[in-house]
A and B are shown apart, each in its own frame.
Chain A
Protein backbone atom coordinates (compact mmCIF):
# COMPACT_ATOMS: atom_id res chain seq x y z
CA UNK A 1 0.00 0.00 0.00
CA UNK A 2 2.82 2.32 1.02
CA UNK A 3 4.59 1.37 -2.20
CA UNK A 4 1.57 2.21 -4.33
CA UNK A 5 1.17 5.61 -2.61
CA UNK A 6 4.80 6.35 -3.27
CA UNK A 7 4.34 5.30 -6.90
CA UNK A 8 1.35 7.60 -7.29
CA UNK A 9 3.31 10.49 -5.77
CA UNK A 10 6.19 9.93 -8.20
CA UNK A 11 3.72 9.72 -11.08
CA UNK A 12 2.08 12.99 -10.03
CA UNK A 13 5.44 14.73 -9.77
CA UNK A 14 6.37 13.43 -13.23
CA UNK A 15 3.05 14.57 -14.67
CA UNK A 16 3.43 18.02 -13.12
CA UNK A 17 6.95 18.26 -14.48
CA UNK A 18 5.72 17.25 -17.93
CA UNK A 19 2.87 19.74 -17.80
CA UNK A 20 5.12 22.58 -16.77
CA UNK A 21 7.37 22.10 -19.82
CA UNK A 22 7.28 25.21 -21.92
CA UNK A 23 6.89 25.07 -25.64
CA UNK A 24 9.27 27.93 -26.31
CA UNK A 25 12.10 29.32 -24.33
CA UNK A 26 10.63 32.53 -23.08
CA UNK A 27 13.04 35.41 -23.02
CA UNK A 28 10.00 37.54 -23.90
CA UNK A 29 8.60 36.92 -20.44
CA UNK A 30 5.05 36.10 -19.52
CA UNK A 31 2.13 36.35 -21.90
CA UNK A 32 -0.51 38.99 -21.29
CA UNK A 33 -3.50 36.68 -21.37
CA UNK A 34 -5.96 39.59 -21.41
CA UNK A 35 -4.86 40.96 -24.76
CA UNK A 36 -6.69 40.12 -27.94
CA UNK A 37 -4.88 38.16 -30.62
CA UNK A 38 -5.15 38.31 -34.39
CA UNK A 39 -3.94 35.91 -37.06
CA UNK A 40 -3.38 36.78 -40.70
CA UNK A 41 -2.77 34.00 -43.20
CA UNK A 42 -1.05 35.34 -46.35
CA UNK A 43 -1.11 32.88 -49.24
CA UNK A 44 1.34 34.18 -51.82
CA UNK A 45 3.25 32.56 -54.66
CA UNK A 46 6.20 34.94 -54.59
CA UNK A 47 4.51 38.28 -55.25
CA UNK A 48 1.35 36.73 -56.69
CA UNK A 49 -1.55 36.56 -54.25
CA UNK A 50 -3.64 33.42 -54.33
CA UNK A 51 -7.23 34.58 -54.21
CA UNK A 52 -10.21 32.84 -52.60
CA UNK A 53 -8.20 30.07 -51.01
CA UNK A 54 -10.34 28.43 -48.29
CA UNK A 55 -8.46 28.50 -44.98
CA UNK A 56 -9.45 26.72 -41.75
CA UNK A 57 -7.88 27.10 -38.34
CA UNK A 58 -8.21 24.72 -35.39
CA UNK A 59 -7.42 25.44 -31.75
CA UNK A 60 -5.19 22.53 -30.73
CA UNK A 61 -4.06 23.70 -27.29
CA UNK A 62 -4.63 26.61 -24.97
CA UNK A 63 -1.73 28.53 -23.55
CA UNK A 64 -1.32 30.21 -20.18
CA UNK A 65 0.84 33.13 -19.15
CA UNK A 66 3.78 30.80 -18.50
CA UNK A 67 3.52 29.46 -22.07
CA UNK A 68 2.31 26.07 -20.88
CA UNK A 69 0.25 24.29 -23.51
CA UNK A 70 -2.81 22.22 -22.65
CA UNK A 71 -4.41 20.22 -25.43
CA UNK A 72 -8.07 20.99 -26.08
CA UNK A 73 -10.62 18.22 -25.53
CA UNK A 74 -10.87 17.65 -29.28
CA UNK A 75 -7.17 17.04 -29.72
CA UNK A 76 -6.26 15.50 -26.35
CA UNK A 77 -7.27 12.04 -27.59
CA UNK A 78 -4.51 11.95 -30.19
CA UNK A 79 -1.15 10.60 -29.04
CA UNK A 80 0.87 13.39 -30.58
CA UNK A 81 3.63 15.52 -29.16
CA UNK A 82 2.28 19.07 -28.83
CA UNK A 83 5.46 20.17 -27.06
CA UNK A 84 7.54 20.40 -30.23
CA UNK A 85 11.04 21.77 -29.87
CA UNK A 86 12.05 22.68 -33.41
CA UNK A 87 10.59 23.90 -36.68
CA UNK A 88 10.82 20.37 -38.05
CA UNK A 89 8.83 19.03 -35.09
CA UNK A 90 6.17 21.72 -35.55
CA UNK A 91 5.86 20.78 -39.23
CA UNK A 92 5.55 17.13 -38.27
CA UNK A 93 2.86 17.93 -35.71
CA UNK A 94 0.90 19.94 -38.28
CA UNK A 95 1.16 17.18 -40.85
CA UNK A 96 0.07 14.52 -38.33
CA UNK A 97 -2.90 16.51 -37.05
CA UNK A 98 -4.04 17.37 -40.58
CA UNK A 99 -4.71 13.68 -41.21
CA UNK A 100 -6.84 13.32 -38.07
CA UNK A 101 -8.72 16.57 -38.78
CA UNK A 102 -9.63 15.35 -42.26
CA UNK A 103 -10.50 11.79 -41.20
CA UNK A 104 -12.52 12.75 -38.13
CA UNK A 105 -14.16 15.76 -39.80
CA UNK A 106 -13.21 18.02 -36.89
CA UNK A 107 -15.00 21.35 -36.93
CA UNK A 108 -12.77 24.34 -37.45
CA UNK A 109 -12.40 27.13 -34.93
CA UNK A 110 -12.47 29.66 -37.73
CA UNK A 111 -12.64 29.62 -41.50
CA UNK A 112 -12.68 31.98 -44.43
CA UNK A 113 -11.22 32.71 -47.84
CA UNK A 114 -8.25 34.81 -48.84
CA UNK A 115 -9.04 38.22 -50.36
CA UNK A 116 -7.63 39.86 -53.50
CA UNK A 117 -4.35 40.44 -51.71
CA UNK A 118 -4.14 36.69 -50.84
CA UNK A 119 -4.73 37.43 -47.18
CA UNK A 120 -7.26 36.37 -44.60
CA UNK A 121 -7.33 37.82 -41.11
CA UNK A 122 -9.06 36.00 -38.29
CA UNK A 123 -10.73 37.97 -35.52
CA UNK A 124 -12.02 40.71 -37.81
CA UNK A 125 -15.79 40.48 -38.02
CA UNK A 126 -15.68 37.09 -36.35
CA UNK A 127 -15.76 35.76 -32.85
CA UNK A 128 -12.58 36.69 -31.02
CA UNK A 129 -9.74 34.21 -31.18
CA UNK A 130 -8.52 32.71 -27.94
CA UNK A 131 -4.86 32.60 -27.26
CA UNK A 132 -3.32 29.21 -27.98
CA UNK A 133 -1.72 26.85 -30.44
CA UNK A 134 -3.49 26.65 -33.81
CA UNK A 135 -3.35 24.32 -36.78
CA UNK A 136 -3.72 26.25 -40.06
CA UNK A 137 -4.96 24.34 -43.11
CA UNK A 138 -5.34 25.84 -46.57
CA UNK A 139 -7.31 23.83 -49.08
CA UNK A 140 -5.70 22.88 -52.38
CA UNK A 141 -6.14 25.66 -54.90
CA UNK A 142 -5.99 26.08 -58.66
CA UNK A 143 -4.98 29.39 -60.20
CA UNK A 144 -3.25 30.39 -63.45
CA UNK A 145 -3.17 26.75 -64.67
CA UNK A 146 -1.31 25.64 -61.59
CA UNK A 147 -2.29 23.44 -58.68
CA UNK A 148 -1.20 24.80 -55.33
CA UNK A 149 -0.79 22.75 -52.19
CA UNK A 150 -0.06 24.61 -48.95
CA UNK A 151 1.79 22.86 -46.15
CA UNK A 152 -0.19 22.63 -42.92
CA UNK A 153 1.26 24.88 -40.23
CA UNK A 154 1.19 25.33 -36.46
CA UNK A 155 1.07 28.82 -35.06
CA UNK A 156 1.12 30.05 -31.48
CA UNK A 157 -0.97 33.12 -30.64
CA UNK A 158 0.62 35.29 -29.42
CA UNK A 159 3.88 34.59 -31.20
CA UNK A 160 7.39 35.79 -30.58
CA UNK A 161 9.09 38.34 -32.79
CA UNK A 162 12.17 37.43 -34.83
CA UNK A 163 14.54 38.17 -31.96
CA UNK A 164 12.38 36.30 -29.45
CA UNK A 165 12.45 39.26 -27.10
CA UNK A 166 8.80 40.34 -27.32
CA UNK A 167 5.36 38.81 -27.65
CA UNK A 168 3.46 39.77 -30.78
CA UNK A 169 -0.31 39.66 -30.50
CA UNK A 170 -0.88 40.19 -34.22
CA UNK A 171 0.73 37.35 -36.12
CA UNK A 172 1.07 36.82 -39.89
CA UNK A 173 2.05 33.50 -41.40
CA UNK A 174 2.88 32.51 -44.97
CA UNK A 175 2.12 28.83 -45.54
CA UNK A 176 4.74 27.05 -47.64
CA UNK A 177 3.37 26.40 -51.12
CA UNK A 178 4.09 23.63 -53.60
CA UNK A 179 2.90 24.25 -57.13
CA UNK A 180 2.49 21.76 -59.96
CA UNK A 181 1.33 22.27 -63.52
CA UNK A 182 -2.05 20.84 -64.37
CA UNK A 183 -1.38 17.76 -66.55
CA UNK A 184 -3.05 17.61 -70.00
CA UNK A 185 -4.17 14.06 -69.37
CA UNK A 186 -5.16 12.34 -66.15
CA UNK A 187 -2.10 10.85 -64.48
CA UNK A 188 -1.57 8.45 -61.64
CA UNK A 189 0.51 8.83 -58.50
CA UNK A 190 2.29 6.46 -56.17
CA UNK A 191 2.03 6.67 -52.41
CA UNK A 192 4.08 4.64 -49.96
CA UNK A 193 3.99 4.19 -46.23
CA UNK A 194 7.01 3.37 -44.09
CA UNK A 195 6.75 2.64 -40.38
CA UNK A 196 9.56 3.75 -38.11
CA UNK A 197 9.83 2.62 -34.48
CA UNK A 198 11.75 4.82 -32.06
CA UNK A 199 11.67 2.50 -29.07
CA UNK A 200 15.15 1.16 -28.51
CA UNK A 201 15.18 -0.94 -25.38
CA UNK A 202 11.39 -1.26 -25.33
CA UNK A 203 10.85 -3.31 -28.45
CA UNK A 204 9.01 -5.99 -26.46
CA UNK A 205 6.17 -3.53 -25.93
CA UNK A 206 5.87 -2.90 -29.65
CA UNK A 207 2.65 -4.22 -31.17
CA UNK A 208 3.13 -7.01 -33.69
CA UNK A 209 1.15 -5.08 -36.26
CA UNK A 210 -0.51 -1.73 -36.78
CA UNK A 211 -3.15 -0.48 -39.18
CA UNK A 212 -2.84 2.64 -41.28
CA UNK A 213 -5.55 4.35 -43.31
CA UNK A 214 -4.96 6.00 -46.65
CA UNK A 215 -7.35 8.92 -47.01
CA UNK A 216 -8.59 10.24 -50.33
CA UNK A 217 -9.95 13.77 -49.91
CA UNK A 218 -10.60 13.04 -46.25
CA UNK A 219 -12.39 9.71 -46.78
CA UNK A 220 -10.82 6.37 -45.88
CA UNK A 221 -9.70 4.86 -49.20
CA UNK A 222 -7.97 1.75 -47.87
CA UNK A 223 -6.80 0.25 -44.61
CA UNK A 224 -3.55 -1.67 -44.57
CA UNK A 225 -1.97 -3.72 -41.82
CA UNK A 226 1.79 -3.32 -41.46
CA UNK A 227 4.07 -5.81 -39.73
CA UNK A 228 7.64 -7.12 -39.70
CA UNK A 229 6.85 -9.70 -42.36
CA UNK A 230 6.30 -6.96 -44.94
CA UNK A 231 9.08 -4.83 -43.45
CA UNK A 232 6.55 -2.37 -41.99
CA UNK A 233 5.84 -0.80 -45.37
CA UNK A 234 3.38 -0.76 -48.23
CA UNK A 235 3.05 0.82 -51.67
CA UNK A 236 -0.05 2.03 -53.47
CA UNK A 237 0.53 2.28 -57.20
CA UNK A 238 -1.60 4.01 -59.80
CA UNK A 239 -3.69 6.18 -57.52
CA UNK A 240 -5.69 8.82 -59.32
CA UNK A 241 -3.98 12.20 -59.30
CA UNK A 242 -5.82 15.39 -58.46
CA UNK A 243 -6.90 14.13 -55.04
CA UNK A 244 -5.59 14.93 -51.61
CA UNK A 245 -3.95 11.70 -50.40
CA UNK A 246 -3.19 11.62 -46.69
CA UNK A 247 -2.32 8.88 -44.25
CA UNK A 248 -3.14 8.31 -40.60
CA UNK A 249 -2.43 5.59 -38.09
CA UNK A 250 -5.83 4.11 -37.39
CA UNK A 251 -5.60 3.50 -33.65
CA UNK A 252 -3.90 5.46 -30.90
CA UNK A 253 -1.21 3.12 -29.56
CA UNK A 254 -0.73 2.77 -25.85
CA UNK A 255 2.74 3.98 -24.78
CA UNK A 256 3.55 5.45 -28.17
CA UNK A 257 3.29 8.92 -29.69
CA UNK A 258 2.65 9.13 -33.40
CA UNK A 259 4.07 11.46 -36.03
CA UNK A 260 3.33 11.35 -39.76
CA UNK A 261 5.49 13.18 -42.28
CA UNK A 262 5.57 13.06 -46.05
CA UNK A 263 8.93 12.68 -47.74
CA UNK A 264 8.57 12.63 -51.50
CA UNK A 265 5.83 10.09 -52.15
CA UNK A 266 6.36 8.29 -48.85
CA UNK A 267 4.40 8.81 -45.66
CA UNK A 268 6.76 8.11 -42.78
CA UNK A 269 4.82 7.07 -39.68
CA UNK A 270 7.05 7.30 -36.61
CA UNK A 271 5.94 5.84 -33.31
CA UNK A 272 8.06 7.00 -30.39
CA UNK A 273 7.95 5.24 -27.05
CA UNK A 274 6.59 7.58 -24.39
CA UNK A 275 8.18 6.15 -21.28
CA UNK A 276 10.95 8.29 -19.81
CA UNK A 277 12.52 5.47 -17.83
CA UNK A 278 16.03 4.61 -19.00
CA UNK A 279 16.06 2.09 -21.77
CA UNK A 280 17.37 -1.34 -21.00
CA UNK A 281 20.20 -2.26 -23.31
CA UNK A 282 18.90 -3.73 -26.55
CA UNK A 283 20.09 -6.89 -28.15
CA UNK A 284 23.74 -6.30 -28.86
CA UNK A 285 24.59 -6.32 -32.53
CA UNK A 286 27.88 -8.08 -31.99
CA UNK A 287 27.66 -11.86 -31.92
CA UNK A 288 28.43 -13.28 -28.52
CA UNK A 289 30.73 -16.01 -29.78
CA UNK A 290 34.34 -15.39 -28.68
CA UNK A 291 35.66 -16.50 -32.04
CA UNK A 292 35.03 -15.42 -35.61
CA UNK A 293 33.41 -18.07 -37.82
CA UNK A 294 35.70 -20.72 -39.28
CA UNK A 295 35.48 -19.86 -42.96
CA UNK A 296 38.18 -22.11 -44.34
CA UNK A 297 38.30 -25.39 -46.16
CA UNK A 298 40.41 -28.15 -44.61
CA UNK A 299 43.62 -27.51 -46.58
CA UNK A 300 46.24 -27.50 -43.85
CA UNK A 301 46.41 -31.33 -43.44
CA UNK A 302 47.15 -31.83 -47.15
CA UNK A 303 50.83 -30.73 -47.14
CA UNK A 304 51.29 -32.34 -43.72
CA UNK A 305 49.90 -35.67 -44.87
CA UNK A 306 51.94 -35.50 -48.08
CA UNK A 307 55.15 -34.68 -46.23
CA UNK A 308 54.64 -37.38 -43.60
CA UNK A 309 53.64 -39.90 -46.27
CA UNK A 310 56.70 -39.15 -48.39
CA UNK A 311 58.96 -39.29 -45.35
CA UNK A 312 57.60 -42.66 -44.33
CA UNK A 313 57.98 -44.03 -47.88
CA UNK A 314 61.56 -42.79 -48.08
CA UNK A 315 62.21 -44.23 -44.62
CA UNK A 316 60.70 -47.58 -45.69
CA UNK A 317 62.72 -47.66 -48.92
CA UNK A 318 65.92 -46.91 -47.01
CA UNK A 319 65.16 -49.65 -44.49
CA UNK A 320 64.33 -52.16 -47.26
CA UNK A 321 67.61 -51.37 -49.06
CA UNK A 322 69.49 -51.72 -45.78
CA UNK A 323 67.93 -55.13 -45.21
CA UNK A 324 68.79 -56.22 -48.77
CA UNK A 325 72.39 -55.14 -48.29
CA UNK A 326 72.59 -57.08 -45.02
CA UNK A 327 71.25 -60.18 -46.77
Chain B
Protein backbone atom coordinates (compact mmCIF):
# COMPACT_ATOMS: atom_id res chain seq x y z
CA UNK B 1 0.00 0.00 0.00
CA UNK B 2 2.91 2.26 0.83
CA UNK B 3 4.38 1.69 -2.62
CA UNK B 4 0.99 2.44 -4.19
CA UNK B 5 0.83 5.79 -2.38
CA UNK B 6 4.37 6.53 -3.49
CA UNK B 7 3.45 5.80 -7.13
CA UNK B 8 0.42 8.08 -6.96
CA UNK B 9 2.59 10.77 -5.41
CA UNK B 10 5.08 10.32 -8.26
CA UNK B 11 2.25 10.66 -10.81
CA UNK B 12 1.08 13.83 -9.10
CA UNK B 13 4.62 15.18 -8.95
CA UNK B 14 5.12 14.50 -12.66
CA UNK B 15 1.82 16.15 -13.52
CA UNK B 16 2.71 19.26 -11.52
CA UNK B 17 6.16 19.33 -13.10
CA UNK B 18 4.67 19.09 -16.59
CA UNK B 19 2.24 21.93 -15.93
CA UNK B 20 5.02 24.07 -14.49
CA UNK B 21 7.25 23.26 -17.47
CA UNK B 22 4.42 24.19 -19.86
CA UNK B 23 3.98 27.44 -18.01
CA UNK B 24 7.71 28.15 -18.21
CA UNK B 25 7.76 27.40 -21.96
CA UNK B 26 4.80 29.73 -22.46
CA UNK B 27 6.57 32.53 -20.60
CA UNK B 28 9.81 31.99 -22.49
CA UNK B 29 8.13 32.13 -25.92
CA UNK B 30 6.06 35.16 -24.90
CA UNK B 31 9.17 36.89 -23.59
CA UNK B 32 10.87 36.45 -26.96
CA UNK B 33 7.74 37.67 -28.79
CA UNK B 34 7.68 40.82 -26.64
CA UNK B 35 11.30 41.53 -27.52
CA UNK B 36 10.66 40.87 -31.20
CA UNK B 37 7.71 43.27 -31.20
CA UNK B 38 9.93 45.92 -29.63
CA UNK B 39 12.54 45.34 -32.32
CA UNK B 40 10.17 45.79 -35.23
CA UNK B 41 7.04 47.85 -35.68
CA UNK B 42 3.78 45.98 -36.22
CA UNK B 43 2.96 45.68 -39.89
CA UNK B 44 -0.32 47.31 -40.79
CA UNK B 45 -1.15 44.90 -43.54
CA UNK B 46 -0.63 41.20 -43.50
CA UNK B 47 -0.89 40.87 -47.23
CA UNK B 48 1.70 38.72 -48.97
CA UNK B 49 3.29 41.60 -50.79
CA UNK B 50 5.73 40.24 -53.33
CA UNK B 51 6.82 43.73 -54.38
CA UNK B 52 6.24 47.17 -52.99
CA UNK B 53 6.70 50.57 -54.46
CA UNK B 54 9.09 53.13 -52.99
CA UNK B 55 8.36 56.82 -52.67
CA UNK B 56 10.20 57.50 -55.90
CA UNK B 57 7.87 55.11 -57.73
CA UNK B 58 10.49 52.39 -58.05
CA UNK B 59 9.61 48.78 -57.49
CA UNK B 60 11.21 47.09 -54.48
CA UNK B 61 11.39 43.35 -54.96
CA UNK B 62 11.94 41.31 -51.75
CA UNK B 63 15.39 39.79 -51.53
CA UNK B 64 14.02 36.26 -51.18
CA UNK B 65 12.27 36.59 -54.56
CA UNK B 66 15.55 37.62 -56.17
CA UNK B 67 17.46 34.85 -54.44
CA UNK B 68 15.25 32.09 -52.99
CA UNK B 69 18.37 30.20 -51.96
CA UNK B 70 19.41 32.92 -49.53
CA UNK B 71 19.58 32.12 -45.84
CA UNK B 72 16.57 33.30 -43.88
CA UNK B 73 17.71 36.44 -42.02
CA UNK B 74 17.85 36.12 -38.24
CA UNK B 75 17.28 38.35 -35.23
CA UNK B 76 19.28 37.49 -32.13
CA UNK B 77 17.58 37.51 -28.73
CA UNK B 78 19.44 36.30 -25.64
CA UNK B 79 22.07 34.72 -27.86
CA UNK B 80 19.48 32.73 -29.84
CA UNK B 81 18.83 33.23 -33.55
CA UNK B 82 15.20 33.55 -34.62
CA UNK B 83 14.05 33.33 -38.26
CA UNK B 84 10.33 34.00 -38.11
CA UNK B 85 7.12 34.44 -36.20
CA UNK B 86 4.47 31.76 -36.61
CA UNK B 87 0.84 32.68 -36.17
CA UNK B 88 -2.01 30.18 -35.88
CA UNK B 89 -5.18 32.30 -35.64
CA UNK B 90 -7.37 29.25 -34.86
CA UNK B 91 -5.65 28.96 -31.46
CA UNK B 92 -4.81 32.64 -31.09
CA UNK B 93 -1.19 31.50 -31.07
CA UNK B 94 1.83 33.59 -31.94
CA UNK B 95 5.25 32.00 -31.50
CA UNK B 96 8.83 32.82 -32.46
CA UNK B 97 10.73 30.25 -34.53
CA UNK B 98 14.35 29.47 -33.72
CA UNK B 99 16.78 29.03 -36.59
CA UNK B 100 18.10 25.62 -35.51
CA UNK B 101 16.61 22.83 -33.50
CA UNK B 102 18.19 21.29 -30.42
CA UNK B 103 16.62 19.89 -27.27
CA UNK B 104 17.51 22.98 -25.19
CA UNK B 105 16.11 25.20 -28.00
CA UNK B 106 12.85 23.23 -28.15
CA UNK B 107 12.29 24.15 -24.49
CA UNK B 108 12.29 27.84 -25.48
CA UNK B 109 10.30 28.00 -28.71
CA UNK B 110 9.44 26.10 -31.89
CA UNK B 111 12.51 25.43 -34.04
CA UNK B 112 13.29 25.09 -37.71
CA UNK B 113 13.86 21.39 -38.28
CA UNK B 114 14.99 22.00 -41.84
CA UNK B 115 14.29 23.95 -45.04
CA UNK B 116 13.33 27.53 -45.72
CA UNK B 117 10.15 29.51 -46.31
CA UNK B 118 11.85 30.90 -49.42
CA UNK B 119 12.22 27.51 -51.05
CA UNK B 120 8.80 26.36 -49.81
CA UNK B 121 10.10 23.41 -47.84
CA UNK B 122 10.19 24.69 -44.28
CA UNK B 123 9.64 22.14 -41.50
CA UNK B 124 9.06 23.40 -37.95
CA UNK B 125 9.21 21.23 -34.85
CA UNK B 126 7.95 22.16 -31.40
CA UNK B 127 7.24 20.56 -28.06
CA UNK B 128 3.67 19.55 -27.34
CA UNK B 129 3.35 22.15 -24.57
CA UNK B 130 -0.16 23.58 -24.75
CA UNK B 131 1.44 26.96 -25.33
CA UNK B 132 3.51 25.61 -28.25
CA UNK B 133 2.23 22.85 -30.55
CA UNK B 134 0.11 20.95 -28.02
CA UNK B 135 -3.07 21.78 -29.96
CA UNK B 136 -1.65 20.91 -33.36
CA UNK B 137 -3.82 17.79 -33.52
CA UNK B 138 -6.90 20.01 -33.44
CA UNK B 139 -5.99 22.03 -36.54
CA UNK B 140 -8.49 21.47 -39.35
CA UNK B 141 -7.98 21.37 -43.08
CA UNK B 142 -8.33 24.91 -44.43
CA UNK B 143 -7.15 26.58 -41.20
CA UNK B 144 -4.75 29.44 -41.78
CA UNK B 145 -1.13 29.52 -40.68
CA UNK B 146 0.88 32.72 -41.12
CA UNK B 147 4.64 32.99 -41.08
CA UNK B 148 6.39 36.35 -40.96
CA UNK B 149 10.13 36.41 -41.56
CA UNK B 150 12.59 38.89 -40.07
CA UNK B 151 12.33 41.09 -43.19
CA UNK B 152 8.58 41.36 -42.54
CA UNK B 153 7.70 39.25 -45.56
CA UNK B 154 4.41 37.50 -44.83
CA UNK B 155 3.77 33.94 -46.00
CA UNK B 156 0.22 32.66 -45.70
CA UNK B 157 -0.58 28.95 -45.68
CA UNK B 158 -3.67 26.75 -45.46
CA UNK B 159 -3.65 23.43 -43.67
CA UNK B 160 -3.95 20.74 -46.35
CA UNK B 161 -3.36 17.49 -44.47
CA UNK B 162 -2.95 16.14 -40.96
CA UNK B 163 -1.10 12.89 -40.50
CA UNK B 164 0.67 10.88 -37.83
CA UNK B 165 4.19 9.72 -38.53
CA UNK B 166 6.51 7.29 -36.84
CA UNK B 167 9.47 8.81 -34.97
CA UNK B 168 11.74 7.09 -37.49
CA UNK B 169 10.01 8.68 -40.50
CA UNK B 170 12.85 11.16 -41.05
CA UNK B 171 12.66 11.04 -44.84
CA UNK B 172 8.88 11.07 -44.94
CA UNK B 173 8.83 14.22 -42.84
CA UNK B 174 10.77 16.17 -45.47
CA UNK B 175 9.28 14.54 -48.55
CA UNK B 176 5.98 15.23 -50.26
CA UNK B 177 6.65 18.70 -51.65
CA UNK B 178 4.80 20.51 -48.86
CA UNK B 179 5.33 24.26 -48.56
CA UNK B 180 5.25 24.16 -44.76
CA UNK B 181 5.19 21.30 -42.26
CA UNK B 182 4.59 21.58 -38.52
CA UNK B 183 5.11 18.66 -36.18
CA UNK B 184 5.12 17.71 -32.54
CA UNK B 185 4.86 14.57 -30.42
CA UNK B 186 1.60 12.89 -29.65
CA UNK B 187 0.71 12.96 -25.94
CA UNK B 188 2.26 9.54 -25.44
CA UNK B 189 5.42 10.68 -27.23
CA UNK B 190 5.49 7.64 -29.51
CA UNK B 191 4.36 9.33 -32.75
CA UNK B 192 4.58 12.71 -34.44
CA UNK B 193 1.46 14.76 -35.15
CA UNK B 194 2.27 16.29 -38.52
CA UNK B 195 0.42 19.14 -40.20
CA UNK B 196 1.08 19.79 -43.88
CA UNK B 197 0.36 23.23 -45.32
CA UNK B 198 0.17 24.74 -48.77
CA UNK B 199 1.13 28.32 -49.45
CA UNK B 200 -1.62 30.71 -50.47
CA UNK B 201 -0.36 32.88 -53.28
CA UNK B 202 -2.14 36.14 -53.99
Contacts and interface: CB of A to CB of B under 8 A. Distances in A.
Interface stretch (B88-96, B140-148, B154-162, B186-194): B186-194
Contacts of B187: 296, 299-300
B133 interface: yes
B38 interface: no
B189 A298 contact: yes
B165 interface: yes
A294 B14 CA distance: 18
Chain A contact residues (Cβ within 8 angstroms of B): what range? Answer: 35 or more
Nearest to B52: A264
Given A264-B59, A287-B170, A305 B10 contact: yes
6 closest A-B pairs by beta carbon, nearest first, are A316-B1, A296-B185, A312-B4, A309-B7, A296-B189, A309-B8
Interface string A298-323: 11111101101111111111001000
Greatest chain A CB density within 10 A among B66, B169, B183 is at: B66
B82 interface: no
Interface in B38-55: 51, 54-55
Contacts of B103: 293-294
Nearest to A304: B11
A281 interface: no
B73, B167, B171 — most chain A CB neighbours (10 Å)? B167
B7 A291 contact: no
A273 B73 CA distance: 24
Interface stretch (A71-79, A109-117, A183-191): A183-191
A213 to B, nearest CB: 20
A295 B183 contact: yes
A246 to B, nearest CB: 15
Contacts of A180: 57
A290 interface: yes
A30 B169 CA distance: 60
Contact of B1 (A183, A266, A312): A312
B34 interface: no
A291 B183 CA distance: 13
B185 A287 contact: no
Interface of B: 1-11, 14-15, 18, 21-22, 51, 54-61, 63, 66-67, 69-71, 73, 101, 103, 106, 113-115, 125-129, 133, 165, 167-171, 173-174, 183-190, 192
A47 interface: no
B196 to A, nearest CB: 15
A194 B66 contact: yes
Interface of B is mostly: mixed
B69 A196 contact: yes
B129 A297 contact: yes
Residue among B11, B59, B125 with max Cβ neighbours from chain A (10 Å): B11
Contacts of B6: 309
A190 B14 contact: no
- The residue among A194, A293, A300, A315 with the most chain B CB atoms within 10 A of its own CB is A293
A292 B184 CA distance: 10
A268 B69 CA distance: 13
A156 to B, nearest CB: 29
Given A268-B67, A287-B170, A300-B189, 20 more contacts: A196-B66, A196-B69, A228-B71, A265-B54, A265-B61, A286-B170, A292-B192, A294-B103, A295-B106, A295-B127, A296-B127, A301-B11, A301-B14, A303-B11, A306-B7, A306-B11, A309-B11, A312-B7, A313-B8, A320-B1
A1 B103 CA distance: 55
A41 B54 CA distance: 32
A313 B5 contact: yes
Given A189-B56, A309-B5, A299 B67 contact: no
A228 B18 CA distance: 40
A301 B3 CA distance: 16
A291 B168 contact: yes
A305 B14 contact: yes
A303 B167 CA distance: 22
B57 to A, nearest CB: 7
Given A264-B59, A296-B188, A300-B189, A287 B113 contact: yes
